[in-house]
Amino acid sequence: MRFALGIDYEGTHYRGWQTQQEGVPSIQSTIEDVLSRIADHPVIIHAAGRTDAGVHASGMVAHFDTHAIRGHKSWLLGSNTWLPKDIALRWIHPVSEDFHARFKAVARRYRYIIFNSGQRSSQLAGKVTWHYHPLNFERMKIAASYLVGQHNFNSFRAVGCQSRNPNRHVHFLNLTKRGSLIILDIQADGFLHHMVRNIAGVLMAIGEGKAEPEWVQELLRVQDRTQGGVTASGSGLYFVDALYPPEFELPKEPLGPLWLVD
């Protein structure tokens, strides 16, 4: 059988989603070890995305195959009993064999959360990116609007990004403000390595007054990463959703992070 999983995790103490060399903690290997214990055979999971070191998720979707017969509670409650406190399975759902968490996803969604305050917060440590210089929210919103649509995002991807195609379609990039928190909410048909973090870095530079909002248009035109801004910290980034065709009938939960949900 094939099962889809909904996963949330706090990525501060992991080297990212993908399994690393032995002894290096990753989200994937931690979950695989627990599922393998419950299934009593080796389990490999495939995810909708691969988050970097220190990046979080509130709505990661993955899938795995098994010949083990276990009840719903055994998979879900059993896994959460063995998993560390900073990783949790939110749901498990049987799917057809043509489902694939990565290749069947039609869109992915991230949120980047900035704590804009003159003083840091111990309670938000690791959960947000702290930016102590005042940010002009309206300037950031204008700049963000230029990124919506189909563009070449060479200026917004990591130098080592291995994707052959730099073109992505950003469905929306909304900015909202809650007190000292600025939330970037972005959905696209796919993302390049460090794309969201580089976008956040550019928007913060514009919000701080280091560049005009039209700088975004220039970066899209030159298609050169060396002309872009600093890559923002991974601590404020959350993978919040993966979208699939409706025939798979996957469970839907409120978009996270959960501590931010009303």
Where along the chain do its domains lie?
2-103, 107-239
pLDDT, position 23: 73
Q: Please say whether the beta carbons of 111 and 102 come within 8 A.
A: no
d(C-alpha 63, C-alpha 43), whole Å: 10
Report, at the CATH architecture level, how domain 2-103 is classified: 2-Layer Sandwich (3.30)
d(C-alpha 89, C-alpha 47), whole Å: 13
Find the radius of gyration of the CA atoms of the chain. 19
Q: Is the pLDDT of residue 100 over 60?
A: yes
Q: What are phi and psi of 135, to 5 degrees?
A: -110, 135
pLDDT, position 262: 57
Kindly provide the b/e burial profile for residues 203-233, where b requires at least 16 CB atoms within 10 angstroms of the residue's own CB.
Answer: bbbbbbeebebebbeebbeeeebeebbebbb
The residue among 181 and 24 whose pLDDT is bigger is 181
Segment 39-49 shows an average pLDDT of 95
The residue among 24 and 254 whose pLDDT is bigger is 254
pLDDT, position 256: 87
pTM to 2 decimal places = 0.94
Q: Is the pLDDT of residue 202 over 90?
A: yes
d(C-alpha 203, C-alpha 136), whole Å: 10
Dihedral of alpha carbons 197, 194, 10, 108, sign: positive
- Looking at 2-11, 22-31, 177-186, which range is the least confident one? 22-31
Name the region of 86 (left: φ>0; alpha: ψ -120 to 50; beta: rest): alpha
d(C-alpha 102, C-alpha 108), whole Å: 10
Residue 52 catalytic? yes
For residue 110, what are the β-bridge partners? 186, 239
d(C-alpha 187, C-alpha 193), whole Å: 15
For residue 183, what are the β-bridge partners? 113, 176
Segment 3-32 shows an average pLDDT of 90
pLDDT, position 184: 98
Q: Residue 166, Cα to own-chain centre: how many angstroms? A: 18
Segment 140-166 shows an average pLDDT of 94
Report, at the CATH architecture level, how domain 107-239 is classified: 2-Layer Sandwich (3.30)
Segment 161-174 shows an average pLDDT of 94
Q: Which tens digit of pLDDT belongs to each residue from 149-158?
A: 999 999 999 9
pLDDT, position 74: 86
Q: Is the pLDDT of residue 183 over 90?
A: yes
Among residues 8, 33, 40, 52, the one annotated as catalytic is 52
